[in-house]
Chain A
Amino acid sequence: MSTPLTHPPLAELLGDRYTESPFERSFYGRDLAVVPPRLAALVGQTTPDAVARPRTAEEVSAILRYATGRKLAVTPRAAATTAFWNTVPLSGGLTLDLTAMAGLIEIHKARLTATVLPGTRWADLDRTLQRRGFTVLSYPTSAPAATVGGWLCMEGYGIGSLKYGGLEGHVCGLEVVLADGRITHAPGALEAPGALQVTGFAGSEGTLGIVTRAELVIRCTPAAIGHHLLAFTDMAALAGAAAKLAATTPTPFYAHFATQSYGWFLRRAGFASAADGALLAITYDGEPDEVMLGARNVKQEAARWDGETLPETLAVREWEERFLALRLKRAGPGVLGAESWLPVARLAEYAADVAKLSVRQNLPIATYGTVVAPGQATVMSLYGCDEARPLPYLLALSLTKKLYDIAFRHGGRPYGIGVWNTPYLSHALSADELATRRARKRTLDPLNILNPGKVYAPPRLLWPPTFKLGMDALAGLRRMGRGWLR
């Protein structure tokens, strides 16, 4: 005898695109982060009670109307390529899997924009556009899986952002379904205080509404592209060269860096690294003379900062492997880490402090990142862990907090909030910005059904004073016991 459904109207609406099957639901309680089940259970009910896969804005609207009527928590999710639990429920409820809403709807050649569905993967979108002579302005470093809606709901900085800015600046308009089921458009459609604008929606992590369509600025496929790879003996020189190149015309399309420890990690994972030192990969695209001018700039800065120019074949390989940072996981088998915004000018000091932490804790830490705006980078520091060994895992978890502490000391802030970065809210957002965001949330989702437990306040387990105390204590314990923990 089959179990009666909890939400029959949703099953009626979506047919076989709705499930309450315990087997199917069990796959929707995680993202990239590997969290031991016992620890996850302390945070909340991370397995949804039901999963729905809508195909249209109208279906999303009907689902949200139903959810609002029953105060049912709704967790939007697409490829789930983050590690902050942005897409993991904390109180069961309904997970809205938006991957079925995928595809390019239209290219508007005259104004160089494209209208796309939210579950469209960046790599798919770009491939489709390139067949027609166009390309996107930027895309995430997880482009093979990450979706348009997903990246927009994060901060939207990655490959191409240095030259073209963050994703929110490329969005001409959004169709959004609000918590009460209204299908609306941003910017401009809502005139009330706290009105939804693209800028407010970007980075809201699915807490304000469900993006069901986006119009994005695109560009013609560049005529030329050039890749360069420089090796440095110290990070200060790398940071100097990166800052200068990022601020010089032509602006690189992509500027990626990695510390020497990243190369070590890569080799330990079984892969080749281009050189032994710290690496700076620079890519220019555009008209041939722009790309040529970029090459000249790279040459100048390499000479000024004593960087070694590596062969073009290695530069091309770095470019081709730009989506493969997670290869490092082979050295794990698990990885933990911290991703931060950081001033490029402080990159060397950050790397030096991370190196000190690495020595103190007797733990290799790989650092890499992307210059995403003149003077600003997103930086990831990763270290190995093994979630199958609960005590060492728990102690290792504390080092994430230590990495954020280092980033904060150097003017950094977390990239993305979700659940796990809520203890750092005061570093992520100013008091005014947080108040504005909370007010917007109250206006647009007064019942707090959309992605509850994320962004605006930490869950009890992560209450900052006790969280910080606990993490520091664990880090201290780990440091004392680092010999037998290995």
Chain B
Amino acid sequence: MTPTAPYTGLEAEARICAHCGYCQAVCPTYAAIGWESAGPRGRMTIAAEAFRGGLADEAAQRIYECTLCGHCREACATRIDTLAAWLEARRRLADRGALERLPLGRLRDNLRQAHNVTGDPTENRLIWQEDAGLPSARLNGRPGAAVVYFVGCVTGLYGQGRSIAQAAAELFGRAGVDFTTLGSEEWCCGFPYLGLGLPDEAAAVARHNLAAVQSLGARMIVTTCPSCFHMWRDVYPGLLAAPTGLEVWHASELLARLLGEGRLGLAPHPARVTYHDPCDLGRNSGVYDAPRAVLRAIPGLELVEMADARENALCCGGGGNLEAVNPALVAEIAARRIAQAVETGATLLVTPCQQCKRTLATAARKTRARLKVLDLGEIVRQAMDAQAG
């Protein structure tokens, strides 16, 4: 990650903004919408001027149309921590009742009532285990386990996500990882709360989740979701004003280690594969090499990079609660990424993120791209299945 200058507050940073447009050049929202108001320097203008008086709904909409991908932070000539700015703007908008005026109230209510993004009963977090015939009683809430697998809302509750959790559980199990999950005691990691502009509520779920892990005595957290990973590793200590005392790993890092230690055997899996860096794993957490190492460890797999990769990777559009505010914009942003994937000639697009998988798979279908989208763990499991077979 490019280091930013210390954040000095929204109005101050908005005045420091040089309006150079470097941010605009990389902004997925601006690329799709095209109006100045839709880019980061437009949002800075809103921040600098609009908060002085009333804030029109169209200005609030622009603030919430950001995917929080962090690309503008990488590009900023004055080294503004733009993500901090967008989150502060949202916090202030939420204080002014913007969530009711924009279609975000439902997401907030789901989080408050069911502690997840969908509003499903919390027991539904176990469906992925039941579907796979996994023994829930032994899998969930096991005291003394070394590792807690934090599944996440989208992985646990969406149909397209469940196979990711199933693959992860199988891989960890086969590699002999002593792991458990929080089962129905798992709450949303708090990332959507932050994106809504409700940091106090994010802190409350952080406290719940940490207490749940501590009650089991585990010292390590692994997530398949990059946003949960980013929250646990980088945001929770700030929200809780104390270190969590836990080692936090993303599944791609753990898989790279397990493969390196020879704890997972893989058979040849010939395929031309391209890799999509999730924003919260890459730009916002600095993990680029581990998932690539996992893919390179699969015999016969050819990894081809897209034109924009690693720090420059295009966002899939799935972040920042954009889906709740402007789903058509998500589709447009995702289509641009799919076009880049298609250009590589790959037949498989792999990403270690359930939200990127959902967004990109939908875009691939809508754009009729001949491209299958898989999570990283899913392709490793396929390679393992092949060996087992």
Give the B-binding residues of A (Cβ under 8 A): 17, 19, 21, 23-24, 27-28, 30-32, 51, 53, 79-81, 97, 99-100, 121, 123-124, 127, 131, 142, 144-145, 269-271, 323-327, 329-330, 332-334, 387-388
Contacts and interface: CB of A to CB of B under 8 A. Distances in A.
Contacts of B75: 144
12 contacts: A27-B45, A81-B20, A124-B25, A144-B22, A144-B25, A145-B25, A270-B6, A324-B77, A326-B18, A326-B77, A326-B78, A329-B16
B77 A23 contact: no
B281 to A, nearest CB: 23
Given A28-B36, A327-B78, A23 B15 contact: no
Contacts of A17: 34
B97 to A, nearest CB: 19
Nearest to A32: B19
B25 A327 contact: no
A270 B78 CA distance: 10
B137 interface: no
A282 B45 CA distance: 37
Contacts of A333: 12, 15-16
B339 to A, nearest CB: 13
Nearest to B56: A23
B42 A332 contact: no
A145 B5 contact: no
> Shortest 10 CB-CB distances between A and B: which pairs?
A145-B21, A27-B36, A333-B15, A326-B18, A326-B77, A144-B22, A79-B21, A333-B16, A23-B58, A329-B18
Interface string B10-45: 001001101111101100000000111100001001
Given A32-B20, A53-B35, A100-B34, 15 more contacts: A17-B34, A27-B45, A79-B21, A97-B34, A142-B21, A144-B21, A145-B21, A145-B22, A270-B5, A270-B6, A326-B18, A326-B77, A330-B16, A330-B79, A333-B15
Given A24-B37, A27-B35, A388-B15, A327 B79 contact: yes
Nearest to B26: A144
Contacts of A81: 20-21
A17 B45 CA distance: 21
Interface residues of B, number: 26
Give the interface centre of B12, B16, B56 by most chain A CB atoms within 10 Å. B16
A28 B21 CA distance: 13
B261 to A, nearest CB: 35
A123 B19 contact: no
> A21, A51, A53, A329 — which one has the most chain B CB atoms within 10 A of its CB?
A329
A24 B25 contact: no
A145 B307 contact: no
Nearest to A324: B77
B59 interface: yes
Task: Kindly name the residue among B20, B34, B42, B56 whose own CB sees the greatest number of chain A CB atoms within 10 A.
Answer: B20
Contacts of B37: 23-24, 27
Nearest to B42: A27
B305 to A, nearest CB: 11
A28 B41 CA distance: 11
A220 to B, nearest CB: 20
Nearest to A51: B35
Nearest to A121: B25
Given A23-B58, A24-B35, A145-B20, A323 B77 contact: yes
Contacts of A329: 16, 18, 78
Contacts of B79: 271, 327, 330
Contacts of B56: 23
Which of B5, B12, B59 has the most chain A CB atoms closer than 10 A to its own CB?
B5
A323 B79 CA distance: 12
B74 to A, nearest CB: 11
Contacts of A23: 37, 56, 58-59
A100 B42 CA distance: 17
Nearest to B78: A329
Contacts of B35: 19, 24, 27, 51, 53
A18 B6 CA distance: 39
A413 to B, nearest CB: 24
B304 to A, nearest CB: 13
Nearest to A387: B15
Q: Which of A124, A330, A388 has the most CB of B within 10 A?
A: A330
A175 to B, nearest CB: 22
Contacts of B58: 21, 23
Nearest to B16: A333
A21 B35 CA distance: 11
Most buried by A among B12, B75, B79: B79
B78 A79 contact: no
A238 to B, nearest CB: 25
B251 to A, nearest CB: 31
A53 B15 CA distance: 27
A153 to B, nearest CB: 16
B35 to A, nearest CB: 5
Contacts of B20: 32, 81, 142, 144-145, 326
A364 B77 CA distance: 21
A97 B42 CA distance: 15
Contacts of B24: 79, 145
B12 to A, nearest CB: 7
A80 B21 contact: yes
A17 B34 CA distance: 8
Q: Which of B25, B37, B79 has the most CB of A within 10 A?
A: B25
A330 B16 CA distance: 6
Contact of B5 (A30, A32, A142, A330): A330
Nearest to B24: A145
